[in-house]
Amino acid sequence: MNDLLWLTEPQMERLRLFFPKPHGRPRVDDRRVLCSIIFIIRNGLRWRDVSREYGPHKTLYNRFVSWSEKGVFEKIFEELARPTGPEADILMIDATHLKAHRTASSLKKGAAVLLPDLPAARVLIADRGYDSIKIRKSVTDQNIEACIPSRKTRKKKILYCFRTCRKRHKVENLFAKAVRV
């Protein structure tokens, strides 16, 4: 199948140090397992529906659960979020994966802490919860383009790039699936 996802060797070398060391008998190839997990989440598949080329679905699921419990994906995300060049290209912020009590304070307090120290980037993508004049000003003062949809209650809508903003949806889905496990 040509539509299967396979990470390249340079990509795997960057991530290999985050995988747990094998104990006892040899494990299924980490590259094959990681590629299958990304493929399943990206395409919204059930574990049973994964291609046989990735290996047994039960093995893939068990490794996903094990790595989730051990924090492997968190370490991988931290590594991938670290800029590799002189500046990051796109920043994405979102707090919807956190459960909060209905009396919890708004995003604005968290954003006030987060936004002053953003790394250099070309664009910041966020959801409607970050649509405020104060947040937009903080981002543009750092020479970063704000790609934030206007709230539905905003009388004068602010233009943004819909195509760029859609990239955030894939990341949001990844976190939603990881939190469910």
> What pLDDT score was predicted for residue 69?
93
> What pLDDT score was predicted for residue 48?
92
**pTM for this structure?**
0.50
Identify the CA nearest to 136 among candidates 118, 155, 162, 163: 118
> What pLDDT score was predicted for residue 175?
65
Burial of 171 (0-12, 13-18, 19+ CB in 10 A): middle
> What pLDDT score was predicted for residue 58?
93
User: How many other CB atoms are found less than 10 A from the CB of residue 35?
Assistant: 20
> What pLDDT score was predicted for residue 1?
45
> What pLDDT score was predicted for residue 130?
85
Residue 135: C-alpha distances to residues 59, 116, 125, 164 (Å): 44, 10, 12, 19
Q: What is d(CA 156, CA 179) in angstroms, rounded to the nearest whole number? A: 36
CB 18 within 8 Å of CB 79: yes
CB 130 within 8 Å of CB 115: no
> What pLDDT score was predicted for residue 86?
46
Counting as low any pLDDT under 50, the low residues of the chain are: 1, 86-87, 97-99, 181
